[in-house]
């Protein structure tokens, strides 16, 4: 009953809050909370396949005491918003007066992303802009990928790669702490102290590019707060937390600028260049394996909206025979869409447990962020080095996302037609980088 009353009040708030936002100082409030498409556009926005929804989601706080309640959040689905972008040139009639229609120019190379419901814009590629400067670097040398786990001793005395993914709360924080301390700590050797892992990576980079990018989770994870509170200046200062007992961090880790950031903050960010207008970041280290959060409803909504666009474009095949009465087809489609939505909500979004088609879409969803981050290091005909440091990357495993991100391209490359022609220039450098890494651990892939 409480939730029902709350839903009614929230619906009223989100519907009419724009009328008083200037009086209460809410102009900068999140648009996803109270704003909707302009009323004149609403007839042009198709309804979401699962219908108009105002729902609630209860989530336990992984960092809270066991006797503390979690968080109750709400979400709203009002339509397939991407439809306006995809059909903007056609929203103003047939232009019978001879006036040109408005054009839409999408310039992101990663907007073509296979079957990803999050990144692929479902628009054919009309052209590709290439860089003559980049052609000076062989395509198979532009991106180098390495598996660099931080090792720890297990109960059996064997060495294992430390895993961050799959851990929550204090255990996740401890795993991140162990990895970063290990990488920032000078190691004893027969001839004295050896440079730390980060120093060795840094010293092997090109002049003017001695900066490292350390990537952590993109969600509201405690790890981000931990990094901010244990580093003096995350962007231009140290990368080392409190030193491990007996081995202080080397001075170099305190004097060279490095960037510690959530993944989403850099993949859609600005280019970071040095004085020579070349990428200042020389290497990126994934301290955490990127993965969809199990409770992420956004991915399910994006998947449903992508399916809705495909259905509309192909004449609603899920609704049955095209010559059936419209009302009957609408009822069939609504029933199928609701069942599809319910099935998606029951899916755990765990990579190892997903069906092949869904895993293929998840693989494509992982590819664009990786390619975007690599692109930040390629500016000015430079090279990119990417280190996968979370033991959960596990390239020898058949469930490794490194192998998963390589498989779509293997299928594309075996095909003829426009898909392979498009994918070749967009993703070929990353394909070569992943192929060389996987070949070291799996042989012929």
- The single residue listed with the structure tokens 């990895």 is 179
Confidence (pTM): 0.82
- The single residue listed with the structure tokens 């088609």 is 357
DSSP state string for 226-285 = HHHHHSS-TTTS----SPBTTBPBPTHHHHS--EEEEHHHHHTS---B-TTSSBSEEEEE
Report the alpha-carbon distance of residue 141 to residue 441 in Å, rounded: 19
Report the alpha-carbon distance of residue 21 to residue 16 in Å, rounded: 9
pLDDT at 257: 63
Q: What are phi and psi of 115, to 5 degrees?
A: -110, 20
Q: What is the DSSP letter of 185?
A: B
Q: For residues 130 and 378, is the Cβ–Cβ distance under 8 A?
A: no
Cβ-Cβ contacts under 8 Å for 56 (sequence gap 6 or more): 3, 6, 7, 72, 73, 74, 75
Give the CATH number of domain 134-293+352-442; options: 1.10.3470, 1.20.120, 3.40.50, 3.30.160: 3.40.50
Closest CA to 127 of 419, 428, 424, 422: 422
Copy the structure tokens of residue 56: 């609630």
HEC readout, 26-65: CCCCCHHHHCCCCHHHHHHCCCCCCCCEEEEEEECCCCCC
Copy the structure tokens of residue 133: 């400067």
Q: For residues 313 and 189, is the Cβ–Cβ distance under 8 A?
A: no
Q: Could you list the pLDDT tens digit for every one of the 445 residues in the chain?
A: 666 666 667 666 666 666 666 665 555 555 555 556 677 778 888 989 998 887 778 877 766 666 777 777 777 788 898 888 888 887 766 656 667 777 888 888 888 888 899 999 888 888 888 878 888 899 899 999 999 999 887 778 788 889 998 888 788 888 988 998 999 988 787 887 889 999 999 999 999 999 999 998 754 443 443 443 344 333 333 333 333 333 333 333 333 567 888 887 776 667 788 889 999 999 999 999 998 887 788 899 999 999 999 999 999 999 999 899 999 999 999 999 999 999 998 887 888 888 888 899 999 999 999 999 999 899 888 999 999 999 999 999 999 999 999 988 776 544 445 566 777 788 889 999 999 999 999 987 7
Q: Where are the domains of the chain?
A: 134-293+352-442
* SS3 state at 286: strand
Task: Kindly tell me the sign of the dihedral angle through the C-alpha atoms of 209, 215, 218, 221.
Answer: negative
DSSP state string for 85-143 = HHTGGGTTTT-TTSPPPPP-----GGG--TT-TTT--S---------TTGGGS-GGGSE
Report the alpha-carbon distance of residue 351 to residue 400 in Å, rounded: 9
Q: How many helices (H) and strands (E) does the chain have?
A: 14, 11
pLDDT at 130: 80
Give the pairing type, strands 259-262 and 151-153: unpaired
């Amino acid at each position: 009953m409480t939730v029902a009353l709350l839903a009614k009040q929230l619906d009223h708030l989100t519907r009419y809050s724009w009328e008083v936002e200037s009086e209460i100082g809410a102009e900068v409030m999140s648009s996803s909370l109270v704003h909707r498409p302009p009323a004149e556009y609403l007839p042009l926005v198709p309804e979401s396949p699962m219908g108009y929804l105002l729902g609630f989601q209860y989530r336990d706080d992984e960092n809270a005491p066991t006797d503390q309640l979690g968080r109750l959040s709400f979400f709203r689905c009002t339509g397939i918003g991407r439809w306006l972008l995809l059909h903007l040139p056609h929203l103003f009639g047939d232009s019978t007066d001879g006036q040109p229609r408005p054009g839409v120019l999408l310039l992101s190379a990663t907007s073509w992303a296979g079957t990803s419901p999050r990144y692929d814009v479902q628009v054919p590629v009309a052209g590709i802009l290439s860089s003559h400067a980049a052609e000076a670097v062989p395509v198979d040398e532009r991106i180098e990928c390495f598996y660099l786990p931080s090792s720890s001793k297990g109960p059996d005395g064997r060495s294992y790669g430390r895993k961050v993914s799959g851990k929550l709360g204090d255990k996740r924080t401890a795993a991140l702490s162990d990895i970063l301390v290990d990488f920032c700590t000078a190691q004893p050797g027969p001839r004295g102290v050896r440079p730390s892992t980060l120093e060795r990576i840094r010293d092997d980079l090109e002049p003017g590019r001695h900066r490292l990018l350390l990537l952590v989770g993109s969600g509201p994870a405690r790890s981000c707060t931990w990094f901010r509170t244990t580093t003096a200046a995350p962007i231009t200062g140290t990368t080392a937390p409190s030193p491990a007992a007996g081995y202080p961090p080397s001075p170099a880790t305190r004097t060279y600028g490095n960037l510690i950031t959530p993944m989403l903050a850099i993949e859609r960010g600005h280019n970071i260049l040095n004085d020579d207008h070349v990428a200042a970041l020389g290497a990126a280290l994934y301290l955490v394996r990127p993965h969809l959060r199990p409770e992420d409803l956004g991915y399910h909504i994006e998947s449903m909206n992508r399916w809705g666009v495909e259905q509309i474009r192909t004449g609603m095949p899920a609704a049955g025979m095209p010559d059936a009465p419209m009302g009957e087809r609408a009822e069939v489609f609504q029933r199928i869409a609701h069942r599809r939505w319910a099935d998606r909500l029951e899916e755990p979004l765990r990579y190892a447990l997903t069906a092949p088609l869904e895993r293929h879409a998840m693989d494509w969803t992982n590819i664009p962020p990786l390619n975007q981050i690599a692109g930040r290091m390629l500016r000015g005909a430079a090279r990119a080095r990417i280190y996968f440091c979370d033991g959960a990357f596990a390239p020898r495993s058949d469930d490794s996302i490194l192998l998963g991100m390589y498989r779509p391209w293997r299928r594309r490359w075996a095909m003829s037609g426009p898909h392979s022609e498009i994918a070749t220039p967009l993703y070929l450098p990353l394909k070569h980088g992943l192929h060389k890494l996987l070949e070291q651990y799996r042989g012929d892939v």
